[in-house]
Amino acid sequence: MKKLPIYIFLAVFLFSFSLSANNENLYKKLNTFGDVFETIRSNYVNDVNEEDVIEAAINGMLQSLDPHSSYMNLENYKEMQEQTDGKFGGLGIEVTLESGYVKIISPIDGTPGAKAGVQPGDYITHIDDESIFGLSLTESVDKLRGLIGTTVNLKIAREGEDEPLEISITRAIITVEAVKFRREGNVGYIKLISFSEQADRGIKKAINNLEAEIGNDKLVGYVLDLRNNPGGLLGQSIAVTDSFLNSGEIVSTKGKDKSDIGSFKATRGDLTKDKPIIVLINRGSASASEIVAGALQDHKRAIIIGEQSYGKGSVQTVFPLNDRSAIRLTTALYYTPSGDSIHKIGITPDIEVLRSKDTDNEIDNQLDYALDLLTKDQFIK
């Protein structure tokens, strides 16, 4: 059987959609879309890949809503699934789209991006000497990806710098170890790097091992480090927070309809046995890490130290499509237990401590401040 041209399928789709919409203005716009597509096919100076044109239209439609909604073709969708498993290829940076450029939410600790000196808030303006202004987030991310072992050259605009920075990063297989921990005297230090599927399991292992190593009678408290944590799975943020609470709401989500409200509550059993907790955050703490910090702050379970967090408080739901592609769509916003929105605001620390710029000597004044506070006699319960 002879295949019908793609524009006929598109016309049928648009016609069906317009009937359900029952809106004359909407019908006209959809009809115009079909006209534009047909004009491109018939008159554009070069041959066009019709599927690419449709994908670009879908992506543009989604990204006109917000920077976090996007279209994923089969390859992109597969890569997204690999990221949530904790192993993927790339630079190790979490990005969004802002003002026409790629903005760094956070470099993931231990990855090529972090080692090269990329910082939260940086704007990528050029990739391999080509401007990316006006490209979609998907198009820009595709340019960042490449063969393992190859190098990508970035031009970066950074607040406080008069001239653009040029940074070269070698692509690698990124294996994200969700949790790292160590003893700092009689304090348990836990670094939560990302909210992949290993996060909750890693937190439980860290608490158990630190208590066994230090001893419950000598253990004075924990530092939970969420700096440069770009977030991840909602379920993991809830499970991680639950490890530090005995009761109460962790986070609520509100969608399009007033009735579309979700509330997630802690179950009994604080794994730290009510030991004092200090949480470290910075501009690279986003999404799931802000849920944890906000819940522990609202319940007065932890003192938050550091800098204002990123402010990414929206829920993205992945909707698989029939052709095995998918769309990532913002469907709800996060709210802390006190009812405050995280989105575009972030979490305000209880004690602001700006990160020392003396990175050459690896001075971590935020961690030093937290450790000093935890070991003060008046702080210990």
Domain boundaries, the chain: 6-70, 75-85+87-175, 179-374
pLDDT at 361: 55
Helix, strand or coil, per DSSP, at residue 32: helix
How deeply is 341 buried, as exposed, middle or buried, from its count of CB atoms within 10 A (0-12, 13-18, 19+)? middle
Q: What type of residue sits at position 260?
A: D
From CA 65, how far away is CA 63, in angstroms rounded?
Answer: 5
Q: Are the C-beta atoms of 260 and 301 separated by less than 8 Å? A: no
The whole-angstrom separation of Cα 222 and Cα 361 is: 25
CATH for the stretch 179-374: 3.90.226.10
Residues 276-305 as b/e (b if ≥16 CB within 10 A, e otherwise) read bbbbbbbbbbbbbbbbbbbbbbbbebbbbb
Residue 338: its pLDDT value, please?
95
pLDDT of residue 4: 44
- Which among 228, 233, 259, 224 is positioned nearest to 110, based on CA atoms? 228
pLDDT for residue 302 = 97
Angstrom distance (rounded) from CA 97 to CA 68: 8
Three-state DSSP string of 75-114: HHHHHHHHHHCCEEEECCEEEEEECCEEEEEEECCCCHHH
Q: Which one, of 328, 330, 332, lies nearest residue 70 by Cα?
A: 328
What integer pLDDT is reported at residue 89 of this predicted model?
67
**What is the pTM for the complete model shown?**
0.77
Say whether 179-374 and 75-85+87-175 share the same fold. Answer: no
Per-residue pLDDT of the chain (381 residues; tens, 9 = 90+): 444 455 444 555 555 544 454 567 887 888 898 899 999 989 999 998 988 888 888 888 898 898 888 888 888 888 777 666 666 668 999 898 888 899 999 898 889 999 999 999 999 999 999 999 988 888 898 899 888 889 999 999 999 899 999 999 999 988 778 999 999 999 999 999 999 999 999 999 999 999 999 999 999 999 999 999 999 889 999 999 999 999 999 999 998 876 778 899 999 999 999 999 999 999 999 999 999 999 999 999 999 999 999 999 988 888 999 988 999 999 989 999 999 999 889 999 999 999 876 555 567 999 999 999 998 865 554
Q: Which residues contact 286 (CB under 8 A, 6 or more apart)?
A: 94, 105, 106, 229, 230, 231, 309, 310, 311, 312
Question: According to CATH, what is the number of the domain 75-85+87-175?
Answer: 2.30.42.10
Which burial class, exposed, middle or buried, applies to 4 when counting CB atoms under 10 A from its CB (0-12, 13-18, 19+)?
exposed
Q: Measuring CA to CA, how many Å separate 186 from each of 100, 203, 210, 381? A: 48, 18, 9, 14
Active site residues: 287, 298, 312
Q: What integer pLDDT is reported at residue 86 of this predicted model?
A: 62
Torsion of CA 268, 271, 276, 282, to 10 degrees: -100
Give the Cα-Cα-Cα angle 333, 62, 141 (nearest 5 degrees). 95
Tokens for 4, please give them.
């019908």
- Cα separation, 116 vs 325, in Å, equals 33
